[in-house]
Structure 1
Amino acid sequence: MDATKVVESFRPDLTPYEAIYRNLHAHPGLSLQETLAAETAAKHLRALEGFDVRTNIGGTGLIGILKNGEGKTVIVRADTDALPVEELTGLEYASKVREVDVEDQIEKPVMHACGHDMHIASMLATATTLHGCQEHWKGTLVVLFQPNEERAGGAKAMIADGLYDPKKHACPVPDVVLGQHVMPDAAGKVGTRPGLIASAADSFRVTVFGRGGHASQPHRTIDPVVIAAHIIVRLQTVVSREVDPRDSAVVTVGSVQAGMTENIIAAFATIKINIRTVKPATREKVLSAIRRIVKAECEASGSPQEPEWVSTSSFPFTVNDNEATATIGEAFTKHFGDMHNPSSTLLGGSEDFPILATEAPNKQGGKGVPYCYWTFGGTDPTKWKAAEEKGTLEHDVPINHSAYFAPVIQPTLGTGVDAMVVAALSFLK
């Protein structure tokens, strides 16, 4: 039986999974606080006879291992964390949650603004499908739920906590690692891309120092807000004047914080910088330019001390294995037809997913196994088509991390399930 017939015969009724999705969307958890997601996943996997479930890996991470005879080992991964965003979708199941963020101990609104709740729900239905059709595949399936993707810490934490250590969590060594992400494309579509599919990302919290005092006597102070302002403006020239126009890079200052009131010049200012690049050499060049500019602006303003740098996250390049991607692409074309795009656009976002593969032990005694990462659409197809015809996609279709981002439940959920099942079956023969 081919993959399409298996999916059609064994895919469960997705109504309960739609309910799981709504519940997860209404009750999100910030990075390192994904308790409900982990509990939901563990309970579901334990109810499927044969799954060996192991929890609390690198925080709230967990795996479910299903051994089904001799064959390849495939890891399928879903991420579980939400974002500090106040939801504005107006949905009946919109999040109203607020949590104290463990990173800075500040209470924040919380929303699944990147679709990880859809990843969880579709992965649970995937596990059910593959559990039910074991007579049609051989090998070992590992269903992995990873926390803290948004801050690039989850995959590293699971590895550091002994994910593949036979004396600890004993995750079987994979032959391939698979992952997917819902995107603001038309629901029902899937996209693969060999080679580079997602950029690297580096984030920093930079504190620049001045000398505080009364706002009426600026001559007796050194204003860190002015220093920060000059840095922010000058950083806009890194990409426009130092990166080859044929290359690609993004430098974003997403947060500026200084002072408590308007009549006091603060003693320091903090800016948070995010950098995206698609080439290693460009990555180094851009990071060097940013450090140079920050240092120079501080010196030009007479800052009393060196700026303080804290690396808050670092995502690797996501580079799909060509052979694995070709295998999945062929299976997707057969299953999805012209709804599969085998040459999808390079993603602007970044992922820590590759670490689960690059840090896995291999059969040659080293590290690194093949991996493939793809996308599936989450926008109402009718809305997408109308916006496309009007040329208003950028305005009318909310993107990931937007307060308005909420995938239409169907056919998004069904597509996510089909894609992961078909991809897994292309290796579990």
Structure 2
Amino acid sequence: MFEFRIGSPMRAHENVTISSTLEDLYKDLHRHPELGFQEHRTAGIVKEKLEGLGFELSSGVGRTGVVGVLRNGPGPTALLRADMDALPVKEETGLDYASTDTATDEGGKVVPLAHACGHDLQTTCLLGAAEVLAREPATWSGTLLLVFQPAEELGAGAQAMVDDGLFDGFPRPDVVLGQHVAPLPAGRIAGHAGPAYAGSDSLRVRLVGKGAHGSMPEASVDPIVLAAATVLRLQTIISREVPSTATAVLTVGSIHGGDAANVIPGEVELQLNIRSYDEKVRSRILAAVDRIAKGEAASAGAPQEPTITEIERFPVVVNDAGALRKTFDAFGAWLGPDKLLDPGAGAGSEDVGVLATSSGAPLSYWLLGGTDPSLFTTGDLSDPALLTVPSNHSPRYAPVIEPTLRLGVTALVTAARTWLPAA
């Protein structure tokens, strides 16, 4: 069992002292990442820790998710969420606890694994907060609903847990709380009210042509040329079809077609990603993608229409203004208001909002700085280091353990006690 060195009950705005045992737990999770819906080892560790703290436990929720409930007298219910999955990335941090693990993805391909997004830290922080809150029941009142979610990177884990009865068989929350480590200076916390993180749609576009020998292009319908025309035309959607007052991004991240220089292939596959904050803008972009792909195929004389399939979707994450203000007022009393940042709406995506919209509870979600503060000059959002330090999903991304772990645990404990005040 991990433990905290706490000599007396912690007040809502005090830092906790992290034991080496909790650091060891973090390093172990970092060393053994798991892909979405494959988090069996991580879920087993979470279940063991929470059982030792007296939580009511349910595992296998949403395939590999874990839910812990701790009832502590009258009061509201607060949902605290952490995600557990990792990425198919080869780690290049050089840390002595770096991952060397691999896994087989859903397509049967063996891929390297890394916690390049920081979910290992988020899981550790929530376990640490569970320890503090379970050991000090006099400091809060109500019900803790801890959600350890799978497959955030797939945009599917939160919905899978909801579909599996998360809000039918467990207490319905009055607030959803959570955090995500970010490449901000450790010691800073950031949050934005309203639409905070973009909705994201990833699509696969299959363009079908007619293959031929490279010396006889007249016998083909060249899908490489078709793909090139399609990619260029797609780039006009944001600049010419989306209102200038709206924010949206369209990226073609993958093109694959053919295997030889002298062979015109029969088809090409594109993968693209769309980020938006408004449902009308999103619908307009998706309709434009469909129109352009089909139109270019028709112009090229393709033998059949393209097929467009959804790879994954993340809804827009909307922070409730009142809920975020309540949480950040407590953070300001603890850290000082100068340590709090408003980053504006970010283009990154998250599925934590599914838990809020599905339960009807307000969302209060924030970013936890996790990068060595000595790398920054000003430490605010104008700092040039933000463009150079490794960011989430980079093979070189890894939060500094201290003070990130201590502050992440404290933030969750502070938020929980703010929403579940002692009777």
- Specify the TM-score bucket, using the shorter chain as the normaliser: over 0.9
Distance 1:14 1:339, change over 3 A: farther
- RMSD of equivalent CA atoms: 2.1
- Per the alignment, residue 376 of structure 1 pairs with 368
Unaligned stretches of 5+ residues in structure 1: 361-367
Distance 1:262 1:386, change over 3 A: farther
- Per the alignment, residue 103 of structure 2 pairs with 99
Distance 1:241 1:390, change over 3 A: closer
Q: Aligned partners of 1:357, 1:333: CA distance in 2, in Å?
A: 24
Distance 1:31 1:14, change over 3 A: same
Task: Output one character per residue of 1:205-250: Cα deviation in whole Å (capped at 9) or x when no partner.
Answer: 1111011222222221112122112222222222222223332111
**What does 1:310-321 correspond to in 2, within 5 Å?**
310-321=309-320
- Per the alignment, residue 111 of structure 2 pairs with 108
- Per the alignment, residue 83 of structure 1 pairs with 87
- Per the alignment, residue 5 of structure 2 pairs with none
- Per the alignment, residue 22 of structure 2 pairs with 17
**What does 1:279-318 correspond to in 2, within 5 Å?**
279-318=278-317
Asked whether 1:408 is paired with 2:408, we answer no
Distance 1:141 1:308, change over 3 A: same
Deviation at residue 314 of structure 1 after TM alignment: 1.3
- For residue 402 of structure 1, what is the amino acid of its counterpart? S
Describe the SS at the equivalent of 1:247: coil
Deviation at residue 408 of structure 1 after TM alignment: 1.1
Distance 1:259 1:14, change over 3 A: farther
Distance 1:199 1:407, change over 3 A: same
**What does 1:28-107 correspond to in 2, within 5 Å?**
28-48=33-53, 50-102=54-106, 104-107=107-110
- For residue 11 of structure 2, what is the amino acid of its counterpart? K
Q: Aligned partners of 2:370, 2:355: CA distance in 1, in Å?
A: 25
For structure 1, which segment, 376-385 or 336-345, has the greater mean C-alpha deviation from structure 2 after superposition? 336-345
Aligned pair partner of 1:162 in 156, 165, 173: 165
Unaligned stretches of 5+ residues in structure 2: 1-8
**What does 1:4-403 correspond to in 2, within 5 Å?**
5-6=11-12, 8=14, 11=16, 13-48=18-53, 50-102=54-106, 104-165=107-168, 170-341=169-340, 343-360=342-359, 368-385=360-377, 392-403=384-395
Deviation at residue 263 of structure 1 after TM alignment: 3.0
Q: Aligned partners of 2:383, 2:321: CA distance in 1, in Å?
A: 34
Q: Aligned partners of 1:259, 1:17: CA distance in 2, in Å?
A: 50
Q: Aligned partners of 2:56, 2:222: CA distance in 1, in Å?
A: 58
Identical pairs, percent: 41
- Per the alignment, residue 364 of structure 1 pairs with none
Describe the SS at the equivalent of 1:253: strand
- For residue 275 of structure 2, what is the amino acid of its counterpart? R
- For residue 165 of structure 2, what is the amino acid of its counterpart? G
Q: Aligned partners of 1:45, 1:390: CA distance in 2, in Å?
A: 40
Contact 2:331 2:414 in 1 (8 A): yes
Q: Aligned partners of 1:235, 1:331: CA distance in 2, in Å?
A: 45
- For residue 409 of structure 1, what is the amino acid of its counterpart? I
Contact 2:87 2:113 in 1 (8 A): yes
Deviation at residue 388 of structure 1 after TM alignment: 8.2
Q: Aligned partners of 2:388, 2:367: CA distance in 1, in Å?
A: 20
Deviation at residue 6 of structure 1 after TM alignment: 4.5
Deviation at residue 61 of structure 1 after TM alignment: 0.3
TM-score (norm 1): 0.92
TM-score (norm 2): 0.93
Q: Aligned partners of 2:161, 2:382: CA distance in 1, in Å?
A: 45
